[in-house]
Amino acid sequence: MSQAVLCEEKVKSPEAQYDLLTEVMDRYNRNEKNLIQILHYAQSIFGFLSSDTQRFIAEKMDLPLSRVSGVVSFYSFFSTMPKGRHTISICLGTACYVRGGKKIIEKLNELLGIDVGETTLDRRFSMEIKRCIGACGLAPAISIDNNVHKRVNPNRIKNILELYE
């Protein structure tokens, strides 16, 4: 079972989501050495790792909750808060910062009504900062779902966002 397949399934009801998670844990024999993989699948099923989901995993795998939550909090790729369908990464590396990265953040704040680290109420967008996205010669740059938008200025942001439903 690939993680991509799970993401495409988008199981809707909470009961069905927990059933799928149980199936994933069974495929991994509920073995602690597979905890990170199980957490990845859980995040792909639910979109984030709530305290209820962490507790469920701990109970089903017969692990202390502190072990599960410790792994979740240690790795930056796990999220305990709901994320949007699209992640906006604003580059604030030196080139992007100097060429107007802060103005891009201000415009996104205005258009979306959220700050860095937050998610829109409709869960369409989440916003985060990156120190460099590797587009220094094209600064300022943002990426949305790993699609890089270069030479961004505040006046173009609304049009860029409209590309992502």
Q: What is the pLDDT of residues 95-109, one digit of tens each?
A: 999 999 999 999 999
Q: Annotation-wise, does 91 bind a ligand?
A: yes
Structure tokens at 75: 């790795």
pLDDT 10s digits, 114-143? 999 999 999 999 999 999 999 999 999 999
Cβ(32)–Cβ(63) below 8 Å: yes
Whether the pTM exceeds 0.85: the reply is no
Q: Identify the band that residue 76 occupies on the pLDDT scale cut at 50, 70 and 90.
A: confident
H or E element that contains 21: helix 14-27
Mapping DSSP to helix (H, G, I), strand (E, B) and coil, where does residue 151 land?
A: coil
Question: Going edge to edge, which strands form the sheet with 125-130?
Answer: 125-130, 86-91, 142-144, 147-149
- For domain 86-161, the CATH superfamily is Glutaredoxin (3.40.30.10)
Residues comprising the chain, all counted = 165
Look at the block and give the residue holding tokens 């949007």. 84
Q: Annotation-wise, does 132 bind a ligand?
A: yes
Cβ(140)–Cβ(91) below 8 Å: yes
Instruction: Indicate if the pLDDT at residue 10 is higher than 70.
Output: no
Q: Annotation-wise, does 96 bind a ligand?
A: yes
Cβ(17)–Cβ(46) below 8 Å: yes
Side-chain half-sphere exposure of 22, counting CA atoms within 13 A: 9
